[in-house]
Each structure stands twice: as C-alpha cells, then as structure tokens.
Amino acid sequence: MRAGVAGGVLSTLAVAGASGAANAAESTTQTLELPTLTADLATQVAQSADATQQAAANYELQAERDAAAAKAAKQAKADLADAKKKAEAKKKAAAEAARKAAAAQAASRSSERTTLSASASTSSNVSAPASGSVATVIAFLKAQVGDAYVMGGTGPNAWDCSGLVQAAFKQVGVDLPRVSQDQSTAGTPVSLSNVQVGDILYWGSAGSAYHVGVYIGNGQYLDAANPSKGVVIQDLSGYPATGAVRVL
C-alpha cells in the first residue's frame, strides 16, 4: 500500500512538474516574441509619421505653387487689359490725327480750286483765252498732284490722263475732246524741240495716242500716270513723248 501511495504521489508530482515545465516553456516563448513585435510596430509608426509629414510638406509646397500661379495669372490678365487699353488709345489718337490731316488737306485743295475757278470764270466770257491762261492751267494741274488715277475719272479727286487735261483747259474756256486720241490732234502740232509750257504732250501716233500730259517746263510734264502713281510730275527723259500740240 505504501508503495501504491508513493507511486501516486510520484505520478502527481510528475504531472505537476510536466505542467510547470510546459507553462515555463510557454511563458519563455511569449517573452521572447513581444520585443520583436514591439520593434516592428515602432518602425511602422515612425514610417507612417514620416510619410504623413512628407505628404503635408508636399501639400504645402503645392499650395504655394498654386497661389503663385494664380497671382501671376491675375497680373498677366491685368497687364493684358492695360496693354489693350493703351493700344486702343493710341489707335484713336492716330485716327484723329489722320482725320485732321485729311480735313486740312481737303480745305487747302478746296481753297486752291475755288481760286482757280474764279480765275477761269473771268476768261470764259471771251472768245479766246485771256493772257495768263497758261499759268492758270498749270496751277490747276499742280493742285491735283497726289490725286488718284481711275480709268474714266474726270475729278474732282480721281482722274484718267485725258480727263485731267480736259478739266485743266476747261478752266480757261478751252473745250477739248474727252479722249487722248482726239486730244492729240487738237490745236497746232509742234515739234518736241520747240515745246513750250502748256503744250499738250501725247504718246503714240497723232489721232491714235494712248496717253496725254501737259508740259510744265524744265523738261518735266504733269499727268495722271497710272493707278500706282496717280497724278504726278515726271521727267520727259524718263518717258519721252511722241509729239505735242498747242492750244493756247
């Protein structure tokens, strides 16, 4: 019986020992794993904090950039509006200056033409041109310098070659034919070596001339040249005439 009791006690001790050993082993295992878990968590927390801080810095930098871009865009818009306003003001000033210049030029021409018309009216009542008619014709022609050339034009601001010549001589009571072909045979033919101020010059054959002008002296003539030149004074040496006729 003692042997049985002793055996039971030993068995109990053995079980208790084994249980204690198991508990001790389990406790040791848990104690070794905790520091590892804690270190990993700390690293993750630190990394998360760094990422959050970097994101915040990026957001702040982006906000600053957006604000700077918005400010620059606003300034650019203001500068553009100011530039447009200045350009518009400059354009208006130029237009006003051009208008005043045109008005002054028109007034000057109107005054010259009024004077020429008055001179012409004093001589239109006689059968032959009065003394000084050549000067009147030349003055009228010079007053038209700068006018436009238009085919078929008869004034007051646009002419073709024969329309201008006809209008000039009409100022002193001389009625010339309308076209250059007929004007080239009006009056008395004169040689180019004897041409005088006021003579009508023509290009082409007499009776079939294609262009006319008026000799104004010093080797020059005045004509309604072409659309690119308009009414101009030119040198005979640059474009010699074919012949001339005298009507005054």
Instruction: State the CATH number of the domain containing residue 145.
Output: 3.90.1720.10
Q: In total, how many domains does the chain have?
A: 2
Residue 226 included in any domain: yes
Question: Which domain covers residue 221, as residue numbers?
Answer: 129-246
Residue 91 included in any domain: yes
Q: Which is it for strands 148-149 and 158-159: parallel, antiparallel or unpaired? A: parallel
Q: Looking at the structure, do residues 176 and 225 belong to the same domain, yes or no?
A: yes
- Mean pLDDT, contiguous 10-residue spans, the chain (248 residues): 46 46 47 55 73 79 82 83 78 71 57 46 36 90 98 96 98 97 97 97 97 98 98 97 97
Residue at which a domain ends, from 123, 151, 185: 123
Phi, psi values for residue 81, rounded to 5°:
-60, -40
Q: Looking at the structure, do residues 116 and 137 belong to the same domain, yes or no?
A: no
CA distance 208 to 183: 9
Beta-bridge mates of residue 215: 221
Q: Looking at the structure, do residues 111 and 136 belong to the same domain, yes or no?
A: no
Q: Looking at the structure, do residues 118 and 226 belong to the same domain, yes or no?
A: no
pLDDT value for 65:
83
